[in-house]
Chain A
Amino acid sequence: MTAQPIFRRFWLKVLPDGSALPQFDVTGKDHGCGEYEGPVAQILFYPVSPKLAGLIQSHGDKAEPSRLKPLVFDIPPGEYVTFHRVGVLRIDNIKVCGFCGAEFDFDERECPRCLARLEWHCTKCDSLKEPLIDTILVNSQKRFKKIKIVPALQKWAWKIAENLPGRWSFYDIQARCPDCEIAGDPRGLRLVRCVGDSGIERLFTHYILQFGEERHIILDYKVLRS
């Protein structure tokens, strides 16, 4: 998936003579903020409709219909206006399922579609096992010790280690077969990597509109607040 802006609202410039310059023409083609920088009387924002989203997509752009609130900015006559879009690009880490190809949140431990996850194999039992996991810590004198951390907190093992008395640091983990342990023959398990780490580029956009003493930030997405 390429990092492109996803248009959920579009702008429309109303010129002093009453004519209008929309961001997207009747075919859905995008016209950037900078194509016309002459005087304007109003800048309006409207949500993208399902029909317009389809037209925009036909040009290779990304768009989603939305119910974002329409916005109207009246520009006083003769006022100097600056108006542009801001792109915010970031690469976020995700997990990718090695079986079904689903992409899912990096913090999830198993694929939400096919339930694949990192598995552990015991060569003696020749089966997949739910491992006994010991976390190995090391201190500045190169002494080692093992502690047990619940699986859900494993990714914070280094932080937990830091907070133990004695200046311990996270070193490694050891996964052992529970059945061999009971039989008095402790054995390590081999990791079978069924999900992998990957990165996804995400591009968020917003608009900056300035005139007179006013500066407006217009988001092209909805912020969910808990």
Chain B
Amino acid sequence: MAEVATIYRLYGAAGDKYSLKNKIGRFCTQDSDPGTNNPCKIPPTGQVYDSYWVTDCLGITGDYTQVRDIYIHGDGNFASDWGLDAASGGGLFVGVKDAGDHGLPIDVALHGSNQYAQAGGTPGTKGYAIDDAVSGHPYYNGETEKIRDFDECDAGSPLLIDSGPYAAGGFYSKAWVMALRTVPTSTYGSKTPKSVIVTYNIF
């Protein structure tokens, strides 16, 4: 059988993987099932709020010879379609490395190490920013760039998450870590659905 592909979200202290199949991968201010509890907040004047960061990965099972070159991209319009006010610093951001794959190793056997870090913050209000020097994501907050506006990662310049390669037998890819940043001029209310698109080469 050809491959079966699934996107997983990791959360909890151990970073257990939960399929996003039949779910909506919302951004929120809690580290748990991405439902409608604890939605993102608009900060008071002079402040910036981040959602809890989310850690997602690709899982593939089935028959293939090799899978490699796993990228993610969006349509380049998250900030404008969600009223995040990019000009004032709002937007959807993804953790990036200064060199190599931007994905987060989450499996010692597959990736050489497990760098998963549980999202934290003040539930119901805001999460720690990925790029925060003290409480941020330890795999990214020491880099030069640290985070990138995901609107820069469109189909023309997708973000390399995991170059692989993975041999037959099934695998979880390295993960991408994202957070939603709101500023006082971001707009309230539920947002229109949008997709993060994952591509991979299969042989």
Asked if B100 CB lies within 8 Å of chain A CBs, one says: no
Find the B residue at minimum CB distance from A62: B2
For B193, what are the chain A residues with a Cβ–Cβ distance below 8 Å?
92-93, 106
B22 contacts A198, C-beta separation under 8 Å: yes
24 A-B contacts (beta carbon < 8 Å): A2-B21, A3-B5, A3-B21, A4-B1, A4-B3, A4-B4, A5-B2, A34-B202, A61-B2, A84-B201, A85-B201, A87-B199, A90-B197, A90-B198, A92-B193, A93-B24, A157-B189, A158-B187, A169-B189, A171-B188, A199-B21, A199-B25, A201-B5, A201-B20
For B47, what are the chain A residues with a Cβ–Cβ distance below 8 Å?
none
B172-203 interface bits toward A, Cβ cutoff 8 Å, 1 = contact, 0 = none: 00000000000011011101110111111111
Find the B residue at minimum CB distance from A88: B199
Known contacts A30-B1, A198-B23, then 14 further A-B pairs from the complex at CB < 8 Å, ordered by chain A residue: A32-B202, A33-B203, A60-B1, A85-B202, A86-B202, A90-B195, A91-B24, A155-B192, A158-B187, A158-B188, A170-B187, A170-B188, A199-B22, A201-B6
Main secondary structure of the interface of B (DSSP, over half): loop
Query: Which B residues are closer than 8 A to A by beta carbons?
Result: 1-7, 20-25, 42, 45, 58, 62-66, 83, 184-185, 187-189, 191-193, 195-203
Find the B residue at minimum CB distance from A36: B65
In Å, the complex CA distance between A33 and B203 comes to 5
A138-182 interface bits toward B, Cβ cutoff 8 Å, 1 = contact, 0 = none: 101000000000000001011101100001011110000000000
For B3, what are the chain A residues with a Cβ–Cβ distance below 8 Å?
4-5, 87
Main secondary structure of the interface of A (DSSP, over half): strand
Instruction: Give the Cβ gap from B62 to chain A, nearest Cβ, in Å.
Output: 8
Instruction: Give the Cβ gap from A75 to chain B, nearest Cβ, in Å.
Output: 17
- Given A33-B203, A59-B1: A89 touches B23 (CB 8 Å cut-off): no
Number of residues on chain A facing chain B (CB within 8 A):
45
Find the A residue at minimum CB distance from B61: A2
For B45, what are the chain A residues with a Cβ–Cβ distance below 8 Å?
140
Asked if A197 CB lies within 8 Å of chain B CBs, one says: yes
Instruction: Give the Cβ gap from B116 to chain A, nearest Cβ, in Å.
Output: 21
For A2, what are the chain B residues with a Cβ–Cβ distance below 8 Å?
4, 6, 21
For B184, what are the chain A residues with a Cβ–Cβ distance below 8 Å?
140
A71-92 interface bits toward B, Cβ cutoff 8 Å, 1 = contact, 0 = none: 0000000000000111111111
A198 contacts B24, C-beta separation under 8 Å: yes
In Å, the complex CA distance between A155 and B81 comes to 12
B201 contacts A91, C-beta separation under 8 Å: no
- Given A4-B3, A90-B195, A158-B187: A34 touches B24 (CB 8 Å cut-off): no
In Å, the complex CA distance between A112 and B62 comes to 35
For B202, what are the chain A residues with a Cβ–Cβ distance below 8 Å?
32-34, 84-87
B188 contacts A61, C-beta separation under 8 Å: no
Asked if A203 CB lies within 8 Å of chain B CBs, one says: yes
Asked if A213 CB lies within 8 Å of chain B CBs, one says: no
In Å, the complex CA distance between A201 and B25 comes to 12
Instruction: Give the Cβ gap from B187 to chain A, nearest Cβ, in Å.
Output: 4
Find the B residue at minimum CB distance from A136: B188
Asked if A44 CB lies within 8 Å of chain B CBs, one says: no
Asked if A35 CB lies within 8 Å of chain B CBs, one says: yes
